[in-house]
Structure 1
Amino acid sequence: MASEEIRTVETRTAMSPTPRGAGAATNTPETTPGAGRTRAWATRLVVVGIMLSALNLRPAITSLGALLEEVRDGLGMSGSVAGLLTSVPPLCFAVFGVMAPRLARRFGPAAVVCAGMAAIAVGLVVRPYVGNTAGFLAASALALMGIAVSNVLMPVIVKRWFPDRVGSMTGLYSMALAAGTSLAAALTVPLTDAMGGNWKSGLVVWATIAAAAVLPWLPLLRDRGPADARPQEPAPETAEAQAPLRITRSRTAWSLAVFFGLQATAAYITMGWMPQIFRDAGVPAGTAGVLLAVIMVMGVPLAFVIPRVATRLSHQGPIVLVLGVCGLAGYAGLYLAPSGGAWAWALLLGVSNCSFPLALTMVGMRARSGPGVAQLSAFAQSTGYLISIPGPLLVGVLYQQSGGWGLPIALMAALMVPQMVVGFIAGRDRTVEDEATN
């Protein structure tokens, strides 16, 4: 894992000492013009790959949320089974996400993300046409497996290729992620209507973007983090980066994992159930999809701004509190006047959902080294997604048993309080290396 952190050739060249007796004109493998052009070309490919991959990290979920009623009718699902369906994403993210660092060590991060994009494409093509609930769940799990490993490795790739621009690069791919999320929410119903009203066609169309995201990673498949690509770091930091971490000993890691889990709970309840909440309040299906898109599209500008602001603060807790208050206000409005103030509640919940890019930014800030980020990312995301599994399922059960959305909305609001508490703790200026190194 020591090879997970790779700087650009300019950083390495600037930090590399000049050997005694070497002339200024002497070229090394890292300073030759050809090597510089190759590194610049590879860096541009990585940027394109990150952005296209981020676009594909949520459409498999939000496109289903927009057509959940049609899918339920088409496959004969009960409310409880539909709740289980909305719990599949965090389950897959927890189970498969923990495998990502090991796969990255074996095959390289680029190869794993490339395979992840291919899995998303295949899963999205297959799932509408299997004809039964079990097959639909299995094909969804394949797509979600690809999302899971890519979720975990995005912070690792950012830390490795852009170690001095963690905030801005995290903001960029968070923007792309939010854009993909909102586009799938807003366009799935209109696309379905344009293709004859067949929900299967409306779901399968998103496989094309996933297939396109495979392409930029193909030239980088051999990039496995060779030793000669590591930056030269001061000896104490290098030794610390190679020391084993017992991540479960870190209070910061646990706080971040719980924060990640609670914000994921809110996000997957929103993506899975929010259109149905609005539809049951009398909002037309197309408008309900647009409202979900509004919630998600708020992440496009804010996902760029919040990470940049967060990296300039020594404590990210105040941002956590602001986002949490917006969430509480949105849930209160959704409970009292779900259709009358629908647009206002969507805006407030959209701001609250930006806890996700904040959590990703804190993953990059709460560890000093590439290996530390990889361990923390895998732990926080896998543990967090495990925590989030019961939420969407419980919402489905409460909805079916109570016959309305009052209890589910109250549950969502109640979960926001501990999210604010653990997020404030996770925002302290500490690193897991301080707490978890043997």
Structure 2
Amino acid sequence: MDPKHPALPRGFSALLLIAMILAAVNLRPAVTSLGALLDPVIEDLSMNGFIAGIITGVPPLCFAILGPLAPRLAGKRGPELVVVGAMLAILCGLVLRSLAPNMWVFFIFTALALAGIAVGNILMPVLVKRWFPTKIGLVTGSYTTAVALGASVVAAIAVPVNDALGGAWRGGLALWAIPALIATLIWVVVYFGLRNQITQLQMPAPKTQLIAPVMGPMSRNSTAWWIALFFGAQSTVAYILMGWAPKIFTDFGVDPAYAGALLGVILGVGVPLSFIMPALAAKFSHQGPLVIVNGIAGIVAIAGLLIAPVQGAFIWAVLLGICGSSFPLALTMIGLKAHTAAGVSKLSTFGQSIGYLIAIPGPFLVGALHETTDSWTLPILLIAGLILFQTFTGIMAGRPRFVEDHGVPTRVDA
């Protein structure tokens, strides 16, 4: 148990875990529901491919900008209150963008929802460490599975649910504010319930301990850069697929409802792999073989999209889902490439912030290429190139090296 925090009553621990799972469920629907309904949104709001590309590229932009700020904000106000604010931002963003009269208002409120997602995404591991320090694996597995399920289920049913509501995209997008409303209400209860626990904290006296070598700036660390490049490459592919995969399949002749379900397949494959991939990665001193397997799956899927996009659509979706397991692999590498918790924290902040910055142009470039060529050939070839880059950087990042390897041991106050 974290010495900074008293043990929570069992019933309240269960409520907190439920609240975390509900928050995690809301960390993807704003993205995947839009991807599934992108065609009618583009048509109704008179967007061109460039604007649609910007909107699909907003998620990594929010993650890159807000990622480093979220821990600072949580340090001042407490992560619990900040998560309440994040859920409220998601709720307001989802409701208000469904009422947007034009594409710019739609863009602003989509960004609001994604800002909440970015903050929530960053703070989930903080809450795990803060309140469940002896059950990190179990609780982390629970909320990451909730993230994957929230993404895949919404992608799979967004179109049929929208059709059942009358076919107007506004109702189809606004519906996903309901889980955000539930999560917000539960988190308000949790926050006030935790206040008594937080005010009773007793800070332990500082202790002196020997830690692993002190690191220099991550920007001068080759291991950190390979991690950042790998994280950026896989994030680029992931957000391109979340934003554009349903439209790509639809334009090739796949039924829109089935195209949305195929995005659900792409994301759903990641549910079991989010458990399997970290366990496998930890058994390898060099994670390159796993990176190569993912890369081969992705390239085969891309070739299939160009040759038989409709006939083999389900197979290509499964293979793209396997390729997408590079996300839990990248997160696992962050933990494996540092000797200490301090090293993991610095590497995570650097790797994810730089990685999401790298990912920003990808969805926009796909939209721009499709707009200028009126074809999906070049955008799909761009995805293939990104998968090759992902594979190369992943092999380099997976080498048995650590960010502290060139530091000097020192004694510090814990």
**What TM-score does the superposition give when structure 1 sets the normalisation length?**
0.84
Work out the CA distance in 1 between the residues paired with 2:315 and 2:240: 18
Report which stretch shifted further, 355-364 or 65-74. Answer: 355-364
Instruction: Provide the residue aligned with 2:38 in structure 1.
Output: 68
Work out the CA distance in 1 between the residues paired with 2:302 and 2:138: 31
Letter aligned with residue 347 of structure 1: V
Structure 1 position 177, deviation (Å): 1.1
- What is the 5 A alignment of 1:14-413? 36=7, 38=8, 40-41=10-11, 43-162=13-132, 166-214=136-184, 215-216=186-187, 217-218=190-191, 219-220=193-194, 228=202, 235-237=209-211, 246-413=217-384
Aligned length, in residue pairs: 405
Letter aligned with residue 235 of structure 1: Q
The 1:105/1:222 distance shift into structure 2, 3 A limit, reads: farther
Letter aligned with residue 101 of structure 2: G
Structure 1 position 91, deviation (Å): 1.2
**What TM-score does the superposition give when structure 2 sets the normalisation length?**
0.89
Work out the CA distance in 1 between the residues paired with 2:162 and 2:280: 39
Instruction: Provide the residue aligned with 1:22 in structure 2.
Output: none
Q: Is contact 1:123-1:139 (8 Å) kept? A: yes
Structure 1 position 296, deviation (Å): 0.8
Give the secondary-structure state (helix, strand or coil) at the position aligned to 1:236. Answer: strand
Report which stretch shifted further, 103-112 or 192-201. Answer: 103-112
Q: Is contact 2:302-2:316 (8 Å) kept? A: yes
Letter aligned with residue 426 of structure 1: A
Work out the CA distance in 2 between the residues paired with 1:272 and 1:399: 13
Give the secondary-structure state (helix, strand or coil) at the position aligned to 1:252. Answer: helix
Work out the CA distance in 2 between the residues paired with 1:167 and 1:282: 43
Q: Is contact 1:156-1:370 (8 Å) kept? A: no
Work out the CA distance in 1 between the residues paired with 2:225 and 2:143: 25
Letter aligned with residue 89 of structure 1: P
Q: Is contact 2:215-2:406 (8 Å) kept? A: no
Consecutive unaligned residues in structure 2, runs of 5 or more = none
Work out the CA distance in 1 between the residues paired with 2:172 and 2:311: 29
Q: Is contact 2:285-2:400 (8 Å) kept? A: yes
Work out the CA distance in 2 between the residues paired with 1:258 and 1:200: 37
Letter aligned with residue 112 of structure 1: V
The 1:205/1:312 distance shift into structure 2, 3 A limit, reads: same
Structure 1 position 227, deviation (Å): 7.5
Q: Is contact 1:263-1:355 (8 Å) kept? A: yes
CA RMSD of aligned residues (A): 2.8
Work out the CA distance in 2 between the residues paired with 1:425 and 1:166: 28
Report which stretch shifted further, 199-208 or 40-49. Answer: 40-49
Work out the CA distance in 1 between the residues paired with 2:134 and 2:273: 21
Q: Is contact 2:223-2:402 (8 Å) kept? A: yes
Structure 1 position 253, deviation (Å): 1.9
Work out the CA distance in 1 between the residues paired with 2:245 and 2:239: 9
Work out the CA distance in 2 between the residues paired with 1:194 and 1:61: 20
